[in-house]
Chain A
Amino acid sequence: MASLITCPHCGVRPKEEFTIRGDASLVRPAPSASDEAWHDYVYVRANPRGRTVEHWHHVAGCRRFLVVERDTVTHEVYSVVDGATAAREAQR
């Protein structure tokens, strides 16, 4: 966990302004994808030690979903980017 998150839209903010949704590396399967793919997407989560990407919702600020890349051991935050930007890049 971090105490402060630098929101790309709002600047440095305390963690209380955010809610954490979880793994940001998941990609929603196509409707026709296999049951396994859907099962994994909805139910299966890793609990990584070290670097991880998460969706943090800046719910008391700009209401944007941010992709926060951080370390679960050192709590260092490596990057924070807008979720839509990240999603568009992933879709490319």
Chain B
Amino acid sequence: MVRDYNNRHALDQKLRGTPKPAHVDHLEVGHWQAIATVLAHAGLDAAVQRALSSTPDLSLRYCGPGEWLVVSQVDTPVGLMRRLDMLCGTQAHVIDQSDGRVLLRLSGPSARQILAKGIGVDLHPAAFALGGSTNVLCGHIAINLSRTGEDIFELIVSRSFAESLFEDLMTMGRPFDLSAAFSE
């Protein structure tokens, strides 16, 4: 018995159906990307960070001392694991989280105002600069937040919380007509 298994996205139920046009403030949900946790061996934080940040196509998200989430839009989960093992396998432990994390991209002129309703961190560009990332509480849910553009933020959330976070974000964005869809 051999078959192709379908991978169901955690927000499948929420976003299924014909895509609607995106509004200025838009929540885009990454359908396919590979995400891994990287845990540096003791004393090797800086070496691992160097190895990872010098690699194109990999986006590094800081979680805590010696811990990152690495996001790739080009690799498969297995491919990313292989790449990371080669890059830093002797300096760090690498754990696949592609199925355990959901990535949401909030963009638009009101993005900061929307996030301020859930996040108690100053998101002014002077305080949270482009390229910055951190673990943070959004409402009741712990997420990883990064600024990938002036008005673009990416939120990575644990899969089981994804529906709740999605609903929260849509409520927070209601005054701004926030729209949502899977990315193309």
Interface residues of A (CB under 8 A from B): 9-14, 16-17, 58-64, 82
B57-92 near A? 1/0 per residue, CB < 8 Å:
000000111010000000000000000000000000
Given contacts A11-B121, A12-B122, A13-B121, are A64 and B65 in contact (CB under 8 A)? yes
Q: Name B's interface SS.
A: strand
Q: 6 closest Cβ contacts across the A-B interface?
A: A62-B64, A14-B120, A60-B137, A60-B142, A61-B135, A17-B137
Q: How far is the CA of A43 from the CA of B4 in the complex (A)?
A: 57
Given that A9-B65, A82-B65 are known contacts, is A62 also in contact with B120, CB under 8 Å in the complex?
Answer: no
CB pair A12–B121 under 8 Å, yes or no, is: yes
Q: Tell me, rounded to whole Å, the shortest Cβ–Cβ distance linking B145 to chain A.
A: 11
New contact pairs (15) apart from A58-B64, A61-B136, A64-B65, CB-CB < 8 Å: A9-B64, A9-B65, A11-B121, A12-B122, A13-B121, A14-B120, A16-B120, A16-B137, A17-B136, A59-B142, A61-B64, A62-B63, A63-B64, A63-B135, A82-B65
B interface with A by C-beta (< 8 Å):
63-65, 67, 120-122, 134-137, 142
Least Cβ–Cβ distance between B95 and chain A, in angstroms: 15
CA distance A59 to B141 in the complex (A): 11
Report the bound CA distance from A82 to B65 in whole Å. Answer: 10
Q: Report A-chain residues with C-beta under 8 Å of the C-beta of B135.
A: 10, 60-63
Q: What's the minimum C-beta distance from B96 to chain A, rounded to whole angstroms?
A: 19
Q: With a CB–CB cut-off of 8 A, which chain A residues contact B67?
A: 62
